[in-house]
Amino acid sequence: MADAHTVDSAALPVAAPTRGTPWGERAWTGLMWGLMTVFVVNIALMIAAVATNSFARRWLGTWLPQGWTTNWYLDAWKEFQLSSVLWVTVEVVFAVVFLSLLIGVPAAYTLARRNFAGKRFQHGDVRVTPVPKNPPRLLLGGMAEPAIDRAARIADGFLSTGGIGHDVYIESLRKQGRAAGDGVIVAGHWAIIAEDPEREAAIVGPHALHQMNQYIEWGAFGPPSSTPRFPDAKAALTQALYRLEDADQAVASLVGLLKKYPQIKDLHFWAQLPGEPVASGQRRLEYIASKVLPRVRQALQAP
């Protein structure tokens, strides 16, 4: 079972045990940082010395110059005729900008409205070796109808979430002249399945609240400025995409879902919610694997 969604990686717990950094690695890291610091400080001091000297009247054998002046800059400005050089530079800049606007804007306007080879990504006959025994499918997901229609039109399958869009995807297949049986759905199932769903809700509630409000921040359910946040864990679990089920309820809903939509070829669950301890998610997965999935397979194989 895999998770096909993107979540805030900063909130995810580390699944593997961590070890202390070996002393040799720490020493090498410290040495590298020290050398980089010396290099940067050396460059900065050289620049500071040159800049200071450019304002000095006389600077020999003392920590600071004996006096300050800007005459060196004035003499250089006059001697090298920098005013003329800068004026020519300004003229060239404005000429380049004018020509770029005169030629580039009409060209961009024209090319944006014409189709031609290379306008989109084009890789030609790119060969992948070794050739995979089972070529990977290219799936597209989405919750809005245009996105689901795009998945039916150009993708190898539809990546759904929370049961949203299955009927829209099948109807889009028909509009494309394809049979509904040709469709492939990889369904992200938001069920929280446990022996005691209410107890599990109390455990995962804060993590579910964080997850749903983070999705709202990302604009998954509309403009973040106009989409209300869930006020508490109970609202997130009962009003969002989650389903709280025990084994019997999960078997009934999953069998019904898979029979209604035979296009579903893969079914994914949340292994753990953002910030949830690994042991908590593992306990739920073990319950699904032992109490739910065998009964679902048996029910689907029955005549």
Residues 6+ apart with CB under 8 A from 259: 300
Query: Any idea what DSSP says for residue 57?
Result: S
Q: What is the pLDDT of residues 225-247, one digit of tens each?
A: 999 999 999 999 999 899 999 99
Query: Any idea what DSSP says for residue 5?
Result: S
Residue 21: predicted pLDDT: 61
Q: What is the pLDDT of residues 239-270, one digit of tens each?
A: 989 999 999 999 999 999 999 999 999 999 99
| Architecture of the CATH domain 138-301 | Alpha-Beta Barrel (3.20)
Domains in the chain: boundaries: 23-112, 138-301
In the three-class reduction of DSSP (H, G, I as helix; E, B as strand; rest coil), residue 187 is classed as strand
* CA separation for the pair 135, 18 (Å, rounded): 35
CB < 8 Å & 24+ apart, contacts of 168-176: 169/263, 170/261, 170/263, 172/148, 175/149, 176/152
Q: Within the chain, which residues score under 50 in pLDDT?
A: 1-19
Distances (CA, A) of 84 to 69, 78, 90, 93, 199: 24, 10, 10, 14, 80
Residue 7: predicted pLDDT: 35
In the three-class reduction of DSSP (H, G, I as helix; E, B as strand; rest coil), residue 244 is classed as strand
User: What's the predicted TM-score (pTM) here?
Assistant: 0.58
* CA separation for the pair 293, 162 (Å, rounded): 19
- Tokens describing residue 109: 């306007």
Residues 6+ apart with CB under 8 A from 187: 160, 161, 163, 166, 257, 261, 264, 266, 267, 268
Number of helical (H) and strand (E) elements in the chain, helices listed first: 10, 6
Residue 18: predicted pLDDT: 40
- Tokens describing residue 41: 């400080």
- Tokens describing residue 261: 């939509």
